[in-house]
Amino acid sequence: MTEFRSHGELLEDLRPVTFDRPPALVANAHITGLGVARALSASDVPVIAVDRVGDGAAPPSKHVDFAGRVTYPLDDQRGFREDVEAIAAAAGRDLVAFGCMDEWVHAFADTEPDGVRLPFAEKAVIDAVLDKSSLYRIADDLGVPYPETVPLAGVSVEEAIDRLGLPLVVKPALKREFEEAIGTNVVEVETAEELHDVIALAREEGIEVMAQRKIDSVRGEDHSLASYVGPDGEVLSIVGNARVRNPLDFGTSCLVERADEPVIEERALAVIAETGYHGISEAEFVYCPDREEFLLLDINTRPWKWIDLPVTAGANLPIAAYASVTDMDDAVTGGRSEFHDTRWVFLPDYLELLATAEFRDRLAPPDWHALVSGAFEEESALTTGVYRPADPEPTYQVLQTALGLREYYCSC
């Protein structure tokens, strides 16, 4: 079990070690970081997990070699860069950066620390993808459908409501700054007064926002393209279908299945190619029954909570990214025939739904037998977020929180 260390202790731990290949620097050290660490460790890549706190799921994992504190980039970006450069110097090797939430991706791209290799596109390209204003302009040019959207700069509340109706949703162009200021990245408004209030708050914080038509989406039909696109355009990708969310209509994914939806892959890769982005990404689509088609919502330029699904299915996106900036053999193989049908489940959220919601279990008895026995770890049909009997400490960490024995912040 790896102990989460102070920054100074982490440097002391690293200095005596000789690394035969560049270590991966994974930030943050929670559920997504754990998935990335497990994917990299499968190919013997040493993993250093860093975060602002030590209570995430990743540090106790046997797949994490070192773990410790760094300055949180939203608090002090210069301090973050200095901390990362100190880690690279202590390791005596370049690091390969994996940002697992938007603020960490931005921090690596903005500061470009010495001794760190970035397996993803430069800052200007990332900004063009994450900024919904530019993303939707690109989608519009390519004929990729997205929800009807009205930028709120220079548009009256009455005009926005007239075009979109009520209720509607307000989203930021860049979601992370909005979430830091307001506490969420999407606000549903039902009255003109509520819309006035949200716009006023956004202007006070200097955040660009847009109004979007509320989509009566079909539960269980959200799809995403999980992909790695290389600098030369090579592609490794599968489609995931978020069959179950918690809460059911608008929550985070807790059961995701590999799906066959060529239109998702075609549209997502067209937008990614147009932006010039390379690296790991998740392109999110929602199905609109009124328009009878999938609509592009977002492209996340980083790993995400169910990164285990493509890895288990045969598309190890973190290794593909790592290989792009090191001398590791190229892991991008392509070819649908080499992938497996796989489901990913996040048991804490899934079990909560079974206990509290009117919800039909989508796991069959053999699935539960495989989960309880641990047999799923030797197969490719089912994988989990956090829970692995062969790597039990992260599960214990999460259970302590679920039982109220400890607290941690819940960024994934």
- Cα gap 44→254, rounded to integer Å: 28
Q: Which CATH superfamily is domain 148-213 in?
A: ATP-grasp fold, A domain (3.30.1490.20)
Nearest to 25 by CA among 5, 51, 1, 47: 47
Residue 164 near residue 213, CB atoms below 8 Å: yes
pLDDT digits (tens, 9 = 90+) for 77-109: 999 999 999 999 999 999 999 999 989 999 999
Per-residue pLDDT band for 1 (boundaries 50, 70, 90) equals: confident
Q: Return the pLDDT at 412.
A: 55
Three-class secondary structure of residue 10 per DSSP: helix
Q: Residue 300: is the preceding peptide bond cis (ω within 30°)?
A: no
What is the domain partition of the chain in residue ranges?
4-120, 148-213, 222-301+306-345+347-384
Distance from C-alpha of 194 to C-alpha of 187, rounded to nearest angstrom = 10
pLDDT at 334: 43
User: What pLDDT score was predicted for residue 57?
Assistant: 95
- pLDDT, one tens digit per residue, over 341-368 is 999 999 999 999 999 988 899 999 999 9
Q: What is the mean pLDDT of residues 373-380?
A: 93
Q: How far apart are CA 152 and CA 189, in angstroms?
A: 14
Among the residue ranges 174-183, 275-284, 339-348, the one predicted with the least confidence is 174-183
What residues form DSSP beta bridges with 25? 48, 97
- pTM for the whole structure: 0.93
Q: Tell me how far apart the alpha carbons of residues 379 and 369 are, in angstroms, rounded to a whole number.
A: 13
- pLDDT tens-digit series, residues 225-266: 999 999 999 999 999 999 999 999 888 999 999 999 999 999
| Average pLDDT of the residues in 38-51 | 97
Q: What CATH class is the domain 4-120?
A: alpha beta
Write down the CATH superfamily of domain 222-301+306-345+347-384: ATP-grasp fold, B domain (3.30.470.20)
- Rounded distance, CA 271 to CA 277, Å? 9
Most confident among 212-216, 266-270, 399-403 (mean pLDDT): 266-270
Two structure tokens written together for 28: 């943050």
Instruction: Name which residue leads in pLDDT, 320 or 176.
Output: 320
pLDDT number for residue 37: 98
